[in-house]
Amino acid sequence: MPTGARVIRSLKVGVFIAALGPVAYLAYGVVAHTLGANPVDAVTDETGTWTLRFLTLTLLITPLRRWTGWNPLIRFRRMLGLFAFFYGTLHFLTYLVLDQFFAFDDIVADIVKRPFITVGFTAFVLMIPLALTSTAGSIRRLGGKRWNLLHKLIYLSAIGGVVHYLWLVKSDISRPARYGVAVGILLAARLWFAYNARHEDSSRVAAAARRRVADASATIDRG
């Protein structure tokens, strides 16, 4: 295995282990009774926060790759996105099992009547097709264009996560506001990259047209 590939593989293992740190901490806290007077609330809050963190990190990969020119960064995007889904699933299951005790009528009523739960549940549901189509085989089956279009749902999921967090807190909104700023900057960066790509494509088309005109003129002059 080339040295560069070994480095990337080692980094991925390190990121994977680090990404399991929060759930290990919560599991220890549950067993050791160190999560405070209401451990269910603590687990719910922490899994929700880590879902938003991993969504933000996933969105960071493409801009960071373009800014640094280090293309191997793209290999970490799938892992980070799946960890966002993993913590989002834990967040939802904590609410479903430990908070509501499978009281589906109450859960449906919550989703319908409480806006922050409506938005949060929608953000989670949007992550499901992303997780299910995260493999190379899914890219081949869907085609690159349709796959990329589908995976733009991560932007809506991240925005929904920020709104969910913002509407959840009742007083200090500084933390959700920081995530909102981070997600906003990353979305603005993506729009900027898309604008530049279209501008470059237009410039190449115009340059090709000018070359064709020049070639035609030269042909006429030679005739």
Q: pLDDT tens across 62-113, in order? A: 999 988 988 899 999 999 999 999 999 999 999 999 888 888 898 889 888 8
> Which is nearest to 166 in space by CA: 183, 154, 180?
180
> What does each C-alpha distance from 72 to 65, 68, 163 come to in angstroms?
8, 11, 32
Question: Which pLDDT tens digit goes with each residue over 149-197?
Answer: 999 999 999 999 999 999 998 778 999 999 999 999 999 998 888 888 7
The pair of structure tokens assigned to 127 is 């992550």
Structure tokens at 218: 């030269």
Q: Quick check: 135 pLDDT over 50?
A: yes
213 — pLDDT class (breaks 50, 70, 90):
very low
Q: What is the pTM of this model?
A: 0.85
